[in-house]
Amino acid sequence: MSGGLLFDPATIRALAEILRDTELTEIELVDKESRIRLARQLPAPVIAPAAALPPMAWAPAPAAPGAAPIGVPPAAQVPDDEHPGLVTSPMVGVAYLSPEPGQAAYVSLGARVEQGQTVLLIEAMKTFNQIKAPRAGTVTRILIESGAPVEYGAPLLIIE
C-alpha cells in the first residue's frame, strides 16, 4: 500500500508511543485504501463509578415545582446541550414564546428565521428582553415552554 501504512510494525509502535505519551485514547488514520486505528483504555480508575461522574454521592437536587430546568445537574442535561445550533439563555428569568399571552409565538417549529430576528422574550426584573437569533436557519427544536423559568445558559432553541 502506498507509503507502507499497513502493516508496518514500526509505524504502529510509533503510533502507540504517541498514544501513550500524549494520553490520547484513540488514533485513527484512513486513506483511500486502508485504515489504521489504535485505541487504549485509561488505567482503570480506583473508584470506578466516580470516573465519569463527580465523586459525591448525593442525589441531584430536586427541581422546584414548575421550574423544570432549574436545579438539574449538568450531567443530566440532554445532549441538545452541545448542539452547534443551540441558543442558550443569556440571563436568569422567565422565557416567553410570544409577545403577549394569547398572541402568536415569535417562531414555531420548522420556521425559517433570519439572523437578528427576535425568537423569544425573557423577563428579568420586570423587564422584557428580546432574544434574537444568532444566525439564520430553521428552528428545529423549541426546548422550553412559554412561561418557564430559565437559568443562565439554559437551552432555549436549536436553529440549524
Partner 1 sequence: MPLRKVLIANRGEIALRIHRACQEMGIATVAVHSTVDATAMHVRLADESVCIGPPPARDSYLNMAAILSAAAITGADAIHPGYGFLSENADFAEMVEAHQLTFIGPTPGHIRMMGDKIAAKDAMRRLGVPLVPGSLGALATFEEARIVAQEVMYPVLIKAAAGGGGRGMKVARAESELEDAWRLARAEAKAAFGNDEVYLEKYLDRPRHIELQVLADTHGNVVHFGERDCSLQRRHQKLLEEAGSPVLGQADRDALGAQVTRALRELGYRNAGTLEFLWQDGQFAFIEMNTRLQVEHPVTEMVCGIDLVKEQLRVAAGEPLGYDQSDVRFHGHAIECRITAEDPQSFAPSPGRVGTYHAPGGLGVRVDSALYSGYVVPPHYDSLIAKLVVHGGTRAEAIARLRRSLAEMVVDGIATTLPLHRAIVEDAEFQAGDYTIHWLERFVAGRQGG
Q: Which three cell numbers stand for residue 76?
A: 443530566
Burial of residue 157, with CB atoms counted within 10 A of its CB: 0-12 exposed, 13-18 middle, 19 or more buried? buried
Task: Considering the complex, state which of residue 138 and residue 146 has its C-beta at the smaller distance from partner 1.
Answer: 146
Q: Cell 465523586 sits at which residue?
A: 55
3-state SS, residue 12: helix
Using rule CB under 8 A, residue 79 touches partner 1: no
Using rule CB under 8 A, residue 39 touches partner 1: no
Please identify, among the stretches 10-18, 25-33, 78-86, 150-158, the one whose residues bind partner 1 according to the rule CB under 8 A. 150-158
CB of 64 to partner 1, least distance (A): 5
Which of a second copy, partner 1, none lies near 23, with the C-beta cut-off 5 to 8 A by kind? a second copy
Please identify, among the stretches 10-18, 75-83, 107-115, 125-133, the one whose residues bind a second copy according to the rule CB under 8 A. 10-18
Measured between alpha carbons, how far is 143 from 145 in angstroms, rounded to an integer? 7
Those residues with Cβ within 8 angstroms of residue 142's Cβ, 6 or more apart along the chain or in another chain: 97, 107, 108, 109, 156, 157
Measured between alpha carbons, how far is 40 from 111 in angstroms, rounded to an integer? 45
Which of partner 1, a second copy, none lies near 1, with the C-beta cut-off 5 to 8 A by kind? a second copy
The site for partner 1 (CB under 8 A) is made up of 46-50, 54-58, 61-64, 67, 70-71, 73-74, 91-94, 124-125, 149-154
